[in-house]
Amino acid sequence: MSRVAHLLIVGLTLCSCASCSPPGPSAPTATITLFAAASMTDACEEIVRAFEEAHGVDCRLSVSSSSTLARQIEHGAPADLFLSANIEWREVLERSGLVASSVDLVSNRLVLIVPTGNNWSVTTPEDLASDKVTRFAIADPEGVPAGIYAKRALERLGLWQDVRDKVLATENVRHALALVARREVPAGIVYATDAAISGDVDVISPFAPDAEIIYPLMLTKRGEKNAPARKFFDFMQSSQAHGILMKHGFLPLEVSP
């Protein structure tokens, strides 16, 4: 065998071995974990997609009631950011020393909803106290922001004492929406943004605007150590993210009565 042929065979063998060897380790993808109130589900999914496309970061979104998420964070859940539906749960986490930074983002509004067709002829909040309604759905008024706000709205109308025994309290506001959409109850009180995503409910009456409906975004102490999380915290305050929130029906704080 000629020297040239021998070198070619050795070279091809080395190339073949190189092609069979496993690839080297790739750089790990940066990740962040965002906890968000259930009413923020659709808006946050869109914001997360926009952020991931722009920054190449894997953002893990977990949605539930603000009370559930806050308690999970208190017990060590690995959240970098938390978007709550009220400021009270922020205060709880601040007292526990778990919040590095915070900003108030948007507001919302409560509405009375009924199943499409309104077979129970519910037309006003006062009908909740009538014989037309034996049960109606709201988020848990003992801890879930949407339920706390609903209770307060009914108290302002002087209705709470008359209807409290009819309340079917749910884990979060999306569950209340689902009960009405499935016609399991004749009415419910949810955010306007939630009612807007369902074709199976009708809005009967908006409640008076409540300036205390505020969605604060928190960067946790854990997230403060994560550069992509800090970047997402800033992104949520950008005009792009604000536009997405407005598109989904949330209200800017500066014009929320």
The structural domains of the chain, with segments of one domain joined by +, span: 31-107+214-255, 110-206
Per-residue DSSP letter, 254: G
16 is in an annotated binding site: no
> Rounded to an integer, what distance in angstroms lies between the CA atom of residue 89 and that of residue 143?
9
39 is in an annotated binding site: yes
Homologous superfamily of 31-107+214-255: Periplasmic binding protein-like II (3.40.190.10)
Q: Among 244, 247, 254, 249, which Cα is nearest to 48's?
A: 244
173 is in an annotated binding site: yes
Measure CA of the first residue to CA of the last residue in the chain; give whole Å. Answer: 91
Same fold, 31-107+214-255 and 110-206: yes
**Could you list the pLDDT tens digit for every one of the 257 residues in the chain?**
444 344 333 343 434 434 444 444 444 578 999 999 999 999 999 999 999 999 999 999 999 999 999 999 999 999 999 999 999 999 999 999 999 999 999 999 999 999 999 888 899 999 999 999 999 999 999 999 999 999 999 999 999 999 999 999 999 999 999 999 999 999 999 999 999 999 999 999 999 999 999 999 999 999 999 999 999 999 999 999 999 999 999 999 965 44
Helix (H, G, I), strand (E, B) or coil at 185: coil
What's the whole-model pTM score? 0.85
Which token pair is 47? 């914001």
Which token pair is 147? 């339920």
146 is in an annotated binding site: yes
Task: Please state which architecture CATH assigns to domain 110-206.
Answer: 3-Layer(aba) Sandwich (3.40)
